[in-house]
Amino acid sequence: MAFDTQQQRRIMGHFATGVSVVTTRHGEQMYGMTANAVASLSLDPPQVLVAVDRRAQMHEALLMARCFAVNVLAEEQEELSRRFAMRGPKEWGDLKYSTAVTGAPIFEGSLAFVDCQLAEVLPGGDHHIFIGEIVAGDAVGGRPLIYYGGKYVRLPE
């Protein structure tokens, strides 16, 4: 018997996560998606993983671009998280970003980032797991954006 997906969402909603926006660029086109299915995978080689729905526009973009950046969002970047959580094309004109090695956008004001070359893609149910080898990164610190119980929450002072 299959486990109820709504029950799974309710249960996993009790797992507090940081919030990131995964970005990539293919040619002149930029793509991004809000993600909390992100994890550090390996120190040797330095790798992270990102799970992406096979139906998402970002899925095809990552396969084409073969690189991505994970932008770890600060508390003040909730609007950015909401923007990139929506399906469909995103507005980039008002965003401040730079690039490191791969050309994937790195948002100004993020707490940290890793810039990755795509190393491997593995199946994971209705998602694919994109494994990236880190080629650049930095962390500046600050207060993280947290998601818990279906909403954004703030750490106590």
Instruction: Using pLDDT thresholds of 50, 70 and 90, give the confidence band for residue 105.
Output: very high
Cα diameter, the chain: 48
Segment 91-116 shows an average pLDDT of: 97
pLDDT value at residue 67 = 98
Query: With helix as H, strand as E and coil as C, how does the chain read?
Result: CCCCHHHHHHHHCCCCEECEEEEEEECCEEEEEEECCEEEEEECCEEEEEEEECCCHHHHHHHHHCEEEEEECEHHHHHHHHHHHCCCCCCCCCCCEECCCCCCCEECCCCEEEEEEEEEEEEECCEEEEEEEEEEEEECCCCECEEECCEEECCCC
Q: How many CB atoms lie within 10 A of CB 48?
A: 22
- Asked if residue 62 has pLDDT above 90, the reply is yes
pTM listed for this prediction: 0.95
- pLDDT tens readout for residues 65-75: 999 999 999 99
- Asked if residue 1 has pLDDT above 80, the reply is no
Percent of the chain with pLDDT over 90: 84
* Joined tokens for residue 121: 């893609």
Q: Which domains does the chain have, with CATH numbers?
A: 20-144 (2.30.110.10)
Instruction: Using pLDDT thresholds of 50, 70 and 90, give the confidence band for residue 110.
Output: very high
Higher pLDDT, 134 or 3: 134
CA pair distance 109, 88, nearest whole angstrom = 24
Q: Does residue 45 have a cis bond before it (omega within 30 degrees)?
A: yes
Which amino acid does the sequence have at 110?
S
